[in-house]
Structure 1
């Protein structure tokens, strides 16, 4: 070991140095190092503080063994600068300072190295230095550079003027790139705003500067300046930028102001159109609508005169509504019968649709039209036709009398839309007049038809009254006659009991029929009488009985149709009710050799029903089945309860029916005259439906294509 190393590694010197460096390292961020660079360039690490663990993520012992390992952590792009800086420092033994990047397991870091090289007597170089982590500082600097670049880009992109102005109104600096300004920077900076601005604008600006500096808040104001391009509108925003200094951002808002003015006019126009349409929809007073229209249009246009002129076969050419400035002549009441003049005006409107005259002195017009303009002191005119369909009805006209006028597109559009509204109002008024006339005619027709209808109703009521009288009279006479026949026939049948034939018995006077058809009861010779058997008398009794029942059914149906069917409801147990009905029907079942199986449950709830009416319904259903089938028919009766309804079904195994017959079975219509029982049974079936409907239920029949029918009806429970 050479003399330098020997001197550095004496026990006292080494321990003192280590103790000193350790004490210093405790109070410093980063890593303290002491490295000896020999004359041959090889390094020898004398000391490395524990800060290398956080900085390089290496233990001190690792660095002492392999100092060149630190170079492997240097970012590849920074190695060249590092080596060049070390060589430059060694050559002149100047202080060494380097900033660069290292790559550690946890990621990239920025470090700063500072060191003072010391030449040794033998030519070696001793490096005592400090390495610090400056990653946070570098990141902050990078963000600051990005922010400055971003702000610079924003400022460069802003077309506004930006001024720095002192409290006393002196222009300190300005940014004018992209702004429309006529003065150069040199002509503005150093001058006072009172020297460059009109006095009213300078006063407003000076006041805003004072408010901004005193309150520390943003101040905004608007002003106008005359420029070579005309009067321009500006908006200024002032903020505090330094003590007694403001930053003023000035923007040209002329276009925005124009747009705002246009939007304001557009809103007024839309309001005017909306209100006009609302008046037309809510009112039929045409004169009031037209007068309000011309008044509001003149107010919107700020014109001297607005009026509506019409021209048609009835009214000729005249003014019907006008709003005019009192300083100019009125055209109200003006009219003309000059067909040539009116035709000329019509042709002008048909040709141009919208007639725009900005200055009558610069327009070629006929002498008559020119004279008309001069009479009413018209200098400019805007005329829009009022069309009813494809026909010209009149025109909506705006006049300027004070001088020429440049009519704007929005003004022309307003007049066109208002003319359409006026056309709607006129059409609505005409339609209302036509409707009034039609209503008058219709009222007369309704009165006539009402009188005729009342007369017909009276005739129908009279016919019903006559029908009722005839029905009761005929039914009464028929019923009396039939009942008389029944009494006679039943007495005759009783007298002939026990004998085989009438007219040949010994128990009473003989009964027979003469050749002329008279019945004979007496002691005429048997040879002069035609004998009558008891079976004939029985069939005659049956026929009269059917006629009596049919008459009763007709009277009952008539009463139902006129007054409604009478139902006496009582709460009854349904199964008990059916058992009683079945017991009453037992004779007719036995007579027709029929059976009825009762499958109705005992636990069905109560129903509100008229037992007598239901008995007749069941009798009619069974009678219909028995009369349309041979003897020996089998019936099955069932009942179910669901959703507050009891549904009863009576099924038999007899003949089936077509669907059409099932659909019409309970209707009231004329039955097949070939069926001797059909009419009376049909009336009974119709009454069945009436009874079930009166109970609040339904009734019907379904057919089995193979054999049999199933009648059903429903009843609501109590």
Structure 2
């Protein structure tokens, strides 16, 4: 090392050949030489850069920094070729520099002893070493610097790319409004040519009002350090264009302005304003989804609130965007078909298409559309209704109907057939068809602790399980317990459940991926078996409707089994019952004869009532009425005084009333008999309840006055007409009103009302009388029943019973609501149709 330093010193202080040096000078230099050599040695050893002295690429000497940098010792480095400490990609560069006298630094990839590499900056100079000319190379690790430079470069490239990707205009202003720099993609967006901007002031290029607006916001941005926004418009090339600027301060002296053209947005806003003026009422009040979009590119111009509610988009997310961006049509080709139909026919009405909400949910819309011209552009006006729920309900209804049909057919077979094998085979076939399952079978549990598959329906791609026997008592006990606890065994994926070994073997042998099973049990007999569905192709989620179907079918199969068992029992008992049947038949015939005799007696009685009793009453009534009329004529009474007997008017009136009442009771009794035999005969015609009730109220005024009662009519005249027998309805009202007057003290208040509820006319007669207890309410319309003692009477029972018969004949209902002391409300309903 000292020799090397000496050589460097010699090189540095080499005397000129042939020069003369005085003794004193040489002496001074000789004295200074040791100090200089020491300093150079210290510098050589302390420098951070590695120094390699080489001759023709062979290393002759190195400093300590080289050991640290390359990981070799000095002895390991001396004698090595320079290419040994250089990575292969740099070998050619080093070879060229070895042949070149250039002192210019260059970069290479150096190789350490541990095979790691680093980027090195190499500087080389020629020196004298041991009397010959060699090269001294300094090596500096610049890896970190290069990596930092690369990061800066990438950051600059990224920022430049981001900046170039932004389509907005960018300007940098000084605080006094001077243009310092700008970026613009198109010269047409600038108010002057690009080379005339930098160095100018806002007031030089912009209209005065716009320049003042900018200066105000520049001052605000600098003083508040907050982003400032402003909008303005310029006339460029004869076109009015709108801009939005965002100003951000860059310290105290500069402002950056990002300017975006908003002409299109302004145009859309203007179009929206015009559209709102034209269609505001229709849009705001329509419960249907309404949109307006361009035919050419499907760009939305306007939508109503219903559309936004259904689609889940906001107005900003829709207006100005096209259908392709929003992906609203699930099948975009359907829109093209709609456009074609519109061009051919001018309109599309009530077509069903699928649309996609913002959430991704697909809905079914009932779609109508027309082409309209808006601002000189062809647009599509669409009206839609979300009918997803309706379609789902229809599907659900079809499935329900199919299920109900299957249940009804199964029940019908059970009721009409005693062939158990046929019933069970048909059941498993139809269940597999309905559920689209791979296998359906019925397992029967016998009394010997075994389970056996007795019927099956299976897809041809999977093995049959018919005749399979489960004789593992433990597994059977587990299944019994499970069915008793849960009623349904549902396994969506058999690979994810722990089951007894026998059940696991069944899953594996018969390729069972999913299971749904319900018990077949009869009350009192326990578990008879199970109705089981297998899905072999894949795991399966079982729907509630499917589970419900299987449960109901399990019940029906249990009934069929029980029915077959009962049939066998019946057959065994038939022989013993024949004698009993004959005996019972004789008894029945005797009872029939007795009943026929009773009917004959009843008919004779009614005949006597209708002829023998009714006739004298009618005759007596006519005589009494004539007497009453005669008494009113005083002259006639005087002329026949010798042939008449004076009778007080009150007695005659009372006798007439009594006869009227007897006649009404007899007529009611006959009508009850007629209605029981033939039913109530109706002569229907369109009837206005309001007019009918008003006439009844007027007719009842004398009777109400006599009883000091008050009758109020609250029936609206505009109620719809009904198809009814007005005479029979009049009898209902009269019987109910008379019943109220007869069973309450004077001063009664009654109110008649009528309303339309659920396609039925509901009429009520309310009173504030003494009321009835619940027992009387329940029995009010029974024949001959009156009060808690249920005495035989021809009083209230006949009238209310006839009311009930008349209302039922009309297809309605009748009842009473009352409690003691709170009055009573009699009501009845009549269909509108």
Q: TM-score range by the shorter chain?
A: 0.3 to 0.5
Give the TM-score normalised by structure 1: 0.39
Name which one, 1 or 2, has greater alpha-carbon Rg. Answer: 1
Q: Which has the higher contact order (CA 8 A, sep 6+)?
A: 1
After TM superposition, the score normalised by the length of structure 2 is: 0.35
